[in-house]
Structure 1
Amino acid sequence: GFWSITRYHDALAVSRDVETFTSSRGIRLEEMDDDELEARRTMMELDPPEHTRLRRLVNRGFTRRTVESYEDSIRALAAEVLDEALTADAFDFVTEVAAKLPMRMLGRLLGTSDADGHQLVEWGDAFLGNSDPEFTTHVIDTADTEEYRLMPFRSPAAIEVFEYAERQAAERRSCPRNDVITQLLAPTRDGEPLSDLEFKNFFTLLIAAGNDTTRYTMTHGLRTMMLHPSLWQAWRADPSLTETAVEEILRTSAVTMHFRRTATREVTLGGKNIAAGDKVVMWFCSANHDDDGFPHPWRFDLARDPNDHMAFGRNGPHLCLGAWLARMEARLVFEELMKRVERLEPDGEPDYMRSNFIAGIKHLPVRVVA
């Protein structure tokens, strides 16, 4: 069992106190044996200083200042993806836009070929959609995944990703580049490079994480605008609302629904006594709709400010590495979409991913209203 943390300020306290609430025993509802945990460990399952050691390798490539330098490239990519999709009067916004942009951009940061983009998306889907039969033939908890128990996400796709990562690493060792993979192969501050397993797990994490938040945030945001056309009209009439509108989409969609911690000592939280060793699950989807954190939390407010949501965590050491990149990608997609169409309208029902971890929309059929 586990404690559910549903209120904003309680979730905030847990996320910031890494000494009392550790990530080292796992971050999802899944309980892993020690050998599984060690084999699959990434910086997500580490606390400082070990977490900091890994994060520093790539952190400079994802800071706000660095991401701002990507704006022209991301805007051009968003325009390209949208122009491709808008050659049709009706299309699936997820497969044609929301899935393509984040992974193409991540591929360029990693230094992988644009031609590999579709494969990266499929691998990411297999990881985060490991409970959805559309994304994997080995559905966790229903199929026999025992032979993959030491692989990330208990997924057979990890075998292919590890092989791909090995090929990419070999290329960088013979010819280093100015990309994230080369940075991962560099010595850490203690002078030692990542182990082979650390490198592969880090690469896998980037493929998985680069596949969800932005993709599904864009999709939830567009669906909200289609269901409430007056919001879209108000936003389109006042582009200065874009920054706060994107933050509100992040808050209300809460794509990563939860993260888990484990209590390292006895502690009282929300009037409950939590014992050392107890699992504690922060439900961001609930915390982001707590009226103690957000006035009128069920109202979508294009101009909500402040908006200290927990879509990326909140300031602690585990704040999402790609938060600024996700924000920019979402902002630029909506800016470029508004230039091209009057609006989009639903052309069918959304198809949701089967998951208790990611609030994903797999398919969103839309039709162009010129």
Structure 2
Amino acid sequence: VVEWNDYIMTKVHERRGGDGQDLVSLVVNAEWEGQRLSDIDVMFETMLVLVGGDETTRHVISGGVAALLQHPDQMARLRSDPPLLPTAIEEMLRWSTPVRNMNRTATTDVDVNGMRIREGDRVLLLYPSANRDERVFADPHRFDVGRTPNEHVAFGAYGRHHCLGAPLARLELRIMFEELLRRLDHIELDTDHIPWRRGNFVLGPNSVPVTFTAR
């Protein structure tokens, strides 16, 4: 992280005031109501792009593979019906939910389940809890590659805070699982225990050992 901060700060200083069209230049020189992001703001924004474009999708891939192998009936269903893949990907996103939480600030007073949240209060949104909500999902603790509707919040709430990279993540996941199903004729878990990384923000398997037969 320290090395990244040093690296990005060098790039920020090089690009501030320039006319470059790369992402860092656009972020550094963007203005909103006459204000520009500080160097620290840019550092955190670029870190978010770096992590959000890699770690989260990687955990949905590994978590999705694990879920399919732990539910062989769902793997068989997906293999027998390839057009089901986009629907299955939404279920992998709901099931894995790599981003565990997000802080938000209330912009108005509101009552939620009898609890008064006032304007300016900080709240912590727990995405895995929302993605197992019995009021939204029928049998939420069941992995179902054909689940519809599937109004999960793996990409955050809809609106201005919806994940900017959602279309890219869905594309990466579709390509990954298309190729996995096409290239691997037989695949199964090679462990009784999948190790998970420790953390309270982004979580996923450290590894998913498998055995497979290539076509």
In the other structure, the counterpart of 2:66 is: 223
Q: Tell me the distance in 1 between the aligned counterparts of 2:156 and 2:73.
A: 30
> In structure 2, what is the equivalent of residue 360 of structure 1?
204
Deviation at 1:288? Answer: 1.0
Please name the residue that 1:339 is paired with. Answer: 182
Q: Secondary structure at the match of 2:211?
A: strand
Give the structure with the larger helix fraction. 1
- In the alignment, the residues of structure 1 paired with residue 115 and residue 16 of structure 2 have an alpha-carbon distance, to the nearest angstrom, of 52
TM-score (norm 2): 0.85
State the match for 1:238 in structure 2: 81
Instruction: Tell me which of 276, 281, 284 is aligned to 2:127.
Output: 284
The residue matched to 1:313 in structure 2 has which SS? coil
Unaligned runs of 5+ in 2: none
Q: CA deviation at 1:258?
A: 1.8
3-state SS in 2 of match to 1:335: helix
Task: Note closer, same or farther for the CA distance 1:276–1:185 as it changes in structure 2 (3 Å cut).
Answer: closer
Q: Is the 8 A contact 2:18 2:25 kept in 1?
A: no
One-letter amino acid of the structure 2 residue matched with residue 270 of structure 1: N
Are 1:271 and 2:114 an aligned pair? yes
**Distance between the aligned counterparts of 2:203 and 2:52, measured in 1?**
14
Partner amino acid for 2:147? Answer: R
Q: Is the 8 A contact 2:17 2:29 kept in 1?
A: no
- Alignment match, 1:200: 43
Inter-partner Cα distance in structure 1 for 2:118 and 2:28: 40
Deviation at 1:244, TM superposition (A): 0.4
Q: Alpha carbon RMSD of aligned pairs, Å?
A: 2.6
Question: Which residue identity is paired with 2:99?
Answer: T
Q: Distance in 1 between matches of 2:18 and 2:118?
A: 51
Q: Which residues of 2 match residues 1-370 of structure 1 at below 5 A?
A: 157=1, 159-169=2-12, 178-188=21-31, 190=33, 193-263=36-106, 266-275=109-118, 278-348=121-191, 349-370=193-214
TM-score, normalization by structure 1: 0.52
Amino acid at match of 1:216: H
CA distance, structure 1, for counterparts of residue 17 and residue 109 of structure 2:
51
Give the 3 Å change call, closer, same or farther, for CA 357–344 of structure 1 in structure 2: same
Q: CA deviation at 1:275?
A: 4.8
- Rounded Cα–Cα distance in structure 1 between residues aligned with 2:21 and 2:190: 43
Structure-2 change in CA distance of 1:167 and 1:272 (3 Å): closer
Check conservation: 1:345, 1:369, Cα contact below 8 A.
Answer: no
Higher relative contact order (CA 8 A, sep 6+): 1
Distance 1:314 1:265, change over 3 A: closer
Q: Unaligned regions of 5+ residues in structure 1, if any? A: 1-156
SS at match of 2:188: strand
- What code does the residue aligned with 1:244 have? T
Q: Is the 8 A contact 2:12 2:39 kept in 1?
A: no
Give the direction of change, closer, same or farther, for the CA distance of 1:187–1:367 in structure 2 (3 Å limit).
same
Give the deviation of 1:198 after TM superposition.
2.5
